[in-house]
Amino acid sequence: MGPVIICGMHRSGTSLVCRALEAAGLFTGDVKEHNHEAVFFLTLNQWMFEQLGASWDNPYNMRFINDDLAGYLLAVIGNIVNSPSAVSFTGADPRHQQVFSPDNRIAWGWKDPRNTFTAAIWAAAFADAKLVHVCRSPLDVAASLQQREQEILQSHQAELAHMRPEQLDGALRFQQSPRLFHLEEGLVLWEEYTAQALVLEKQFGANAIRVRYEDFLADPVKELGTLADFAGLDADTELLQAAVAQVNPARRYAFTNNPELLSAYRGFRKRDIMQSLGYDTLDENCTTAA
């Protein structure tokens, strides 16, 4: 059984979907960081981005992976997957130590928004890989990223206020992504990720599924049930209900409560990609307009 590769733009709900699938029985790694990303695959994805001079908030170069580079990436990945370091993903459980083998029968996978640009490489490394694309309204995504940058800035400003100039040694990363301090740049980045994810959907064909964050919040049991079946999980209704017990439906289309974001939405809604995802006909009550 191949992996379930969860992708989608940052702040789109990939963590929520991954945690729900894990609660429903999907093995998503032994060592994970605070965003519920398996450190083993996160590190390899970051390495691939570095190979192309890209970063999570500037992935442009990732579209230029050629055959020679892909061959090199696959060779390195193959060596690392078969090395002792893979235990950070598989852990000590003997059952999970078999997930990378061709005859694996355990449902497994991992989430990382960077998968949006590396999933084709992973599909070449693991047979029968499946893709889960999580998408969310771009205004909510961009606003969330902007808010995070503002919080980081405020935190570091407070820290610097208690330091003398001669104490500065360059160790502090003042902003995580200055680009995303600007709402319009968050929208551009959302479009970069989402356009690439739509390309992946075509490449994976029947082995790809898309879930809208807003649909998941509206009916989490139904949506998780569909994803669980797709992932090869045997989850009954009681298990599905427990897996999504903490889902907060109030987070659907949060941007509609903000006049500034609503104004930005009215200009952005006309883009083709918004139409293809059904995000172009929202009224101000978080429903689909007639």
Residue 239: CB atoms within 10 Å: 16
Are the C-beta atoms of residues 130 and 231 closer than 8 Å to each other?
A: yes
CA distance 93 to 29: 11
Number of H helices, E strands in the chain: 12, 4
Amino acid at the residue 59: P
Judge whether residue 290 has pLDDT over 50: no
Q: What is the mean pLDDT of the chain?
A: 93
Torsion of CA 77, 63, 184, 190, to 10 degrees: -60
Q: How confident is the model at residue 169 (pLDDT cuts 50, 70, 90)?
A: confident
Q: Span 84-109, mean pLDDT? A: 92
Q: Span 16-30, mean pLDDT? A: 96
Run of H or E residues at 131: strand 130-135
Sign, Cα dihedral of 7, 9, 13, 15 = positive
Q: Counting beta carbons within 10 angstroms of the beta carbon of residue 106, is it exposed (0 to 12), middle (13 to 18) or buried (19 or more)?
A: middle
Percent of the chain with pLDDT over 70: 97
Q: How confident is the model at residue 283 (pLDDT cuts 50, 70, 90)?
A: low
Q: Which domains does the chain have, with CATH numbers?
A: 4-277 (3.40.50)
CA distance 202 to 207: 9
DSSP string, 84-95: GGGHHHH-S-TT
State pLDDT tens for residues 174-223: 777 989 999 999 999 999 999 999 999 999 999 999 999 999 999 999 99
CA distance 18 to 265: 28
Q: How confident is the model at residue 131 (pLDDT cuts 50, 70, 90)?
A: very high
Q: Span 54-72, mean pLDDT? A: 96
CB within 8 Å of 203: residues ≥ 6 apart = 120, 123
Strand partners for 130:
4
DSSP string, 24-57: TT-B--SSB-TTS-BHHHHHHHHHHHHHTT-BTT
Question: For position 287, what pLDDT does the model report?
Answer: 52
Q: Span 168-179, mean pLDDT? A: 80
Question: For position 45, what pLDDT does the model report?
Answer: 98
Question: For position 163, what pLDDT does the model report?
Answer: 81
In degrees and rounded to multiples of 5, residue 204 shows phi and psi of -80, -20
- The pTM for the full model equals 0.93
Are the C-beta atoms of residues 16 and 67 closer than 8 Å to each other?
A: no
Angstrom distances, CA of residue 219 to CA of 8, 29, 91, 184, 244: 20, 27, 33, 30, 10
Q: Span 119-142, mean pLDDT? A: 97
Are the C-beta atoms of residues 239 and 227 closer than 8 Å to each other?
A: no
CA distance 289 to 219: 19
